[in-house]
Amino acid sequence: MAAPLLEIKDLVTVFHTSDGRLPAVDGVSLSIERGQTLGLVGESGCGKSVTAMSTLRLVSSPGRIESGSIMFTTEGESIDLVTTPEKQLRQVRGGRIGMIFQEPMTSLNPVFTIGNQIAEAVQLHRKVSRSEARSRALEMLHLVRLADPEQRLDAYPHQLSGGMRQRVMIAIALACEPDLIIADEPTTALDVTIQAQILELLDDLRSRLGTAILLITHDLGVVAETCDDVAVMYAGRIVEQASAVELFSRPLHPYTIGLLQARPNVDARDSGPLETIPGMVPPPQDFPSGCRFHPRCSHAREPQCNVEPPSLREVSPGHFVRCHFAEEINS
Amino acid sequence: MITYLLRRILLGLVTLVVITLMVYGLARSMPGNPLTVQLGESDPSRKLNPEDQQRMLEIYGLDKPWPVGYVQWISKVIQGDLGRSITRKQPVTQLIGERIGPTVLISGTALFLTWFLAIPLGLYASARGGRIDERFTGLVLYALYSFPTFVAALFLQIIFAVWLRDTHWELPLFGMSDLSSDAPFFARCRDVAWHAILPITCQTYVVLAYNSRFIKANLEEVVRQDFIRTARAKGAGPWRVLVHHAFRNTLIPLVTLLGLSLPALVGGSVIIEQIFTWPGMGRLFFESIRERDYPTIMGLTLMFSVLTLAGQLLADLLYSIVDPRVNVE
Amino acid sequence: MRVSEEIEAAKPSRGFWSDAWQRYRRRPIGMLALGFVLFLTIVAIFAPAIAGTKPVVCSYKGTLYFPCLGYFNRSWESPIFTKDKFRGTYPKNLKQKDPESWAVWPLVFQDPYRRVRENEWPGRRENPSRDEGHPNRWNLFGTDQYGVDIFAKMVHGTTIALLVGFVSMGLAGSIGVLVGALGGYFGGWVDMITSRLTEIVMCIPTLVLILALIAVVEKPTIWKTMAIIGATGWTGIARLTRAEFLRLRQTEFVMAARATGAGSLRIMFRHILPNALAPVLVPITFGIASAILVEGSLSFLGFGPPPPTASWGSVLNSARSNLQLWWLVVFPGAGIFLTVLAYNLVGEGLQEATDPRLREAKK
């Protein structure tokens, strides 16, 4: 079997602050196959964005990748993004892996035209003339279905709406036909109707261009609509991983179950009160001992859950869960 | 655009009238007048007798109350006449023309050096932010920023004119030139440059320290913004991120600073010109206040105020050029 | 009830300032600067007890006196010493006129206003003058061309430097906050007038304005100088206050206060000002530094308070015509420099400790 497009192994990213060493990402492993969409789900503060940033080594001081590997395989060649020299990494950033951020309002440079900013992405990775880069930018604007692309090419970001800006961000990310797009909460800051359009666009582009997507979101609805595989993250660790179909039909981890129950379901037959998970994601300086979810877990049992950290087990083919009592809870 | 400019200029004119009115009133309220201050201080025996003084005051139009004097002054200004200096017996325009060259020589060179050095220093400081060498230069710049010009000038004078006297490194203590006007041109240039070194140094270092810290602070703020992350995610190298993406954004506050330095370019520094007895505008201002030379005070005030207002307008216009989000209308 | 609770919640709690203090404490340089400012304050307050020729305390003819207070204010020195013809020299006169007397002397027996003569203090030679006035055992920082001790001048100059900073910035701060608050809060034509006024004062070169004002006040004293520095240095503070008020008057808690029927003045000074205080405090701290600089330059140009006021700038002024007496430059120069530096560092520390944007970034 060929190596997956991206394989993250035991990634540990820590922040060294006045509160000490804070492991925001604590031993995360993920893999994405070519052309697939992997959803990384979790509440805010669980480390999913840091995972995304770590992939392209964009975590800024005081954050640092402490250990682990990120193997990226393209055109039969594998490189470890954690150790590869900066110069080679820059070839990957924007060239082989594109990235989309949460805040379209502030993610574009206010003093350059959007045409300029897309063309820059092209010129950084391909030996093309200015006019070629510009026509490529125009092509990209057509591709992301921005209205009036010819005029918008010379517009400044402040002249566009949030949804339009996110389309521009996608155009930048896709400008060099990357193998993978990392989309960090691409729709969170947008209106619901625009959200759907952007997700549809991403999905459409994936099927047309064959680009794999790592979709980071806190919204399980988004995952259900677009993803092939799902990983659920909690307090710096993956707690459950399976195919989307499997995860939604047979969730095993109490946290996943909680997340699913916390979703408002429009066509639910029993319209009982919405369930919530009590408490909040603990910050890295207060990670509990044992299973990090146990203080919020209704199934937690002492002394196991608060002492012994559970490992990520494969309970059925392709379905991993980090819980001592996953089978019992679900039987 | 045109209406905007017209409105600004009209508003500026009103401001000018108020400023000159205030300064004129203030100047005329200073005790004494050009005749008493000038003659009385130098030699009490040459004090004018009251009748002569009265006659002289009438000649200069100083016998009437100051609001009348102001109206006379401003109506002449509208006709393009700044009047004649009372104590120096020459037209104010000519006086300013004589002094503007030496001042621009100092402040123009200083302004150039300041920006020429401050931009690389600011870029360097934010590229190496937090490291030992950057912290050290940062501390030195901070110290320089707090170092009073007049203390620095005295130190430089002691070092280069007293301690290093009769060595290779001796620099002239004050004045602009020791050579007579018939000396060869290049020798005179060299002599003036020699005299200008200390004043230029004094005028450069404070502004340099301020500007490079200003640039660094602005760069650090820009570097934290989301679009810098986008640029890095595109694959731009650190240098390109800093110069192309971040610095381009810091130009916005920088043009404001540049616009505000316009009056200082021509106005010069009272203190530096006074210490080094440099025959420039700042010194002229200082002396004209001491001599109660009203026409010169007013001429200089008018020039300063026009330049300040023009600098602000220029800054706003440049602002709309470097920041596409700003529209002057 | 609920609304007023909200107002209370929106005010910067004590937590804000103690948080700011926590952040400030983490900066060693800022703490060092703050320590230096405290040190200067102590020197300023106890100046007559550190250097002087008048006893700190003395018992004379059975009564206790504090003649050193005469350095702060002539009239605080008991008239009995004038009546008994002390003529400013205490050590000999005390012993001669009352053998029973005793006195506690300042740490350094030197005077900031006059030359100490031979044997004025038992066994002490006369202060050297001109080229002989190098720093020496008795004159730690040397003497000026007339033989007056520089150390004593420096110590007494500290009082003036700090007073200049506080008094002029107190005045500038009050004017600036008032003008800015009026413009920012009321907007409209009030804002038009106050903004114009600020702009006009900004357009006139500060030094020229100050020089003209000093010429206008007939008998310059140090207090008038301070008032003039304050009266010309408020523009920056006014602009900042205006911006803060413009921002804050739109916030929910001001709306809530208005809804409870609070008057304009009350809203401005009870509700908005405490919130605008941190950003306004920063330019005031920097302003103290610049006021000290301005006073220094004025004295240096010979426009400062008249002699015998011992300000650092006036010592520098006397150095201008005596460049070979380097100690006349080094010590007062260092004094002004370190004081200005310390205030700037405190200001910067304050800025970093209270600026919400910088704070977010540190997270």
Query: Which C residues 333-352 touch B at CB under 8 Å?
Result: 333, 336-337, 340-341, 344-345
What's the mean pLDDT in B11-22?
Answer: 89
Give the closest-approach CA distance of B219 to chain C in angstroms. Answer: 13
- Judge: C203–B305 Cβ closer than 8 Å, yes or no: yes
Neighbouring residues of B329: CB distance < 8 A, sequence distance ≥ 6 = B1, B3, B4
Q: Quick check: A231 pLDDT over 90?
A: yes
E strands in chain A: 6-17, 20-32, 37-41, 63-74, 77-80, 97-100, 180-184, 212-217, 229-234, 237-243, 313-316, 319-321
Distance between C357 CA and the closest CA of chain B, angstroms: 9
Q: In chain C, what are the domains?
A: 52-147 (no CATH), 151-362 (1.10.3720.10)
Which residue(s) pair with C104 in the sheet? C57
The share of chain A scoring above pLDDT 70, in percent, equals 96
**Nearest CA among A167, A132, A172, A174 for reference residue A147:** A167
Regarding predicted confidence, which is higher, B47 or B188? B188
Residue linked to tokens 């937090």: B130
In eight-state DSSP terms, residue C148 is B
Q: Looking at beta carbons, which residues of chain C come within 8 Å of B135?
A: none
| Secondary structure of residue C304 in the 3-state scheme | coil
- What distance in Å separates residue A169's CA from the closest CA in chain B? 9
Closest residue to B234, CB basis, from A94, A103, A110: A94
Instruction: Please state the pTM of the whole predicted model.
Output: 0.81
C268: which residues sit within 8 A by CB, 6+ positions away? C181, C185, C245
Would you state the pLDDT for residue C37? Answer: 92
Q: Angle at which helices C28-45 and C14-25 pack, to 10 degrees?
A: 100
| Predicted local confidence at residue A60, as pLDDT | 78
Distances (CA, A) of C197 to A207, C200, C234: 65, 5, 11
Within 10 A of A265 (CB to CB), how many other CB atoms are there? 12
Q: Closest Cα of chain C to B67: distance in Å? A: 17
**Nearest beta carbon to residue C337 from set B22, B147, B285:** B147
DSSP string, B304-318: HHHHHHHHHHHHHHH
Least confident residue range of A8-12, B50-54, B253-257, C5-9 = C5-9
For the segment C185-239, what is each residue's pLDDT rounded down to a tens digit? 888 888 888 988 888 888 777 777 888 788 777 777 888 888 888 888 888 889 8
Collect all residues from A whose CB is shorter than 8 A from any CB in B.
56, 58, 61, 86, 90-95, 98-99, 101, 103, 106-112, 120-121, 124-125, 156, 158, 169, 172
pLDDT over 90 percentage in chain C: 7
Tell me the helices (H) and strands (E) count for chain C, helix number first. Answer: 17, 5
**C74 pLDDT higher than 80:** no
User: DSSP of B125-169, one letter per residue?
Assistant: HHHTTTSHHHHHHHHHHHHHHHS-HHHHHHHHHIIIIIITTTSTT
What's the rounded Cα separation, in Å, for the pair C193 and A221?
A: 56
Question: Quick one: what percent of chain C has pLDDT higher than 70?
Answer: 92
Asked if the model's pLDDT at residue C80 lies above 80, the reply is: no
Domains of chain B: which residue ranges? Answer: 96-281
> CB atoms < 10 A from the CB of C173, how many?
23
What is the domain class of B96-281 according to CATH?
Answer: mainly alpha
Output the six-digit token pair for B97.
């023309």
| For chain B, percent of residues with pLDDT exceeding 90 | 2
Side-chain half-sphere exposure of B156, counting CA atoms within 13 A: 24
Bridge partners of A184, per DSSP, are A216
* One-character DSSP codes across B249-313: HHHHHHHHHHHHTHHHHHH--HHHHHHTT--SHHHHHHHHHHTT-HHHHHHHHHHHHHHHHHHHH
- Domains parsed from chain A with CATH numbers: 6-227 (3.40.50.300), 237-264+273-329 (no CATH)
Closest residue in A to B251 (Cα) is A111
The answer to whether A305 touches A315, Cβ cutoff 8 Å, is no
The residue of chain B nearest to residue A168, with distances taken between CA atoms, is: B230
Taking only residues 293 to 332 of chain C, the set having a beta carbon closer than 8 angstroms to any beta carbon of chain B reads: 293, 296-297, 300-301, 313, 316, 319-320, 323-324, 326, 329, 332
pLDDT at C4: 43
Residue C12 has pLDDT above 60, yes or no: no
Please give the structure tokens belonging to residue A73. Answer: 């395989």
Answer yes or no: is pLDDT of A268 > 60.
no
Task: Tell me the shortest Cα–Cα distance from A19 to chain B, in angstroms.
Answer: 20
Spell B166-195 as b/e; 16+ CB within 10 A means b: eeeeebbbeebbeeeeeeeeeebeebbeeb
φ/ψ bin of B61: left (φ > 0), alpha (ψ from -120 to 50), beta (otherwise)? left
d(CA B122, CA C221): 43
Q: Helices H, strands E: what count in chain B?
A: 16, 0
Q: From CA B297, how far away is CA B213, in angstroms rounded? A: 35
Tokens representing C264 are 């304009």
pLDDT per position as a tens digit, A124-156: 998 899 999 999 999 989 888 888 888 889 999
Q: Is the CB of residue B30 less than 8 Å away from at least one CB of chain C?
A: yes
Contact C235, C246 (CB under 8 A): no
pLDDT digits over C241-253, tens only? 888 888 888 777 8
Q: What is the pLDDT of residues C97-107, one digit of tens each?
A: 777 777 777 78
Burial class (CB in 10 A: 0-12, 13-18, 19+), B298: buried
pLDDT score of B42 more than 70: no
Q: Are B128 and B242 in contact (CB under 8 A)?
A: no
**pLDDT in the model for residue B157:** 86
At position C6, the amino acid (one-letter code) is E
Q: Six-digit token pair at B210?
A: 């301020």
Q: Which residues contact C48 (CB under 8 A, 6 or more apart)?
A: C54, C56, C68, C69, C70, C71, C72, C106, C156
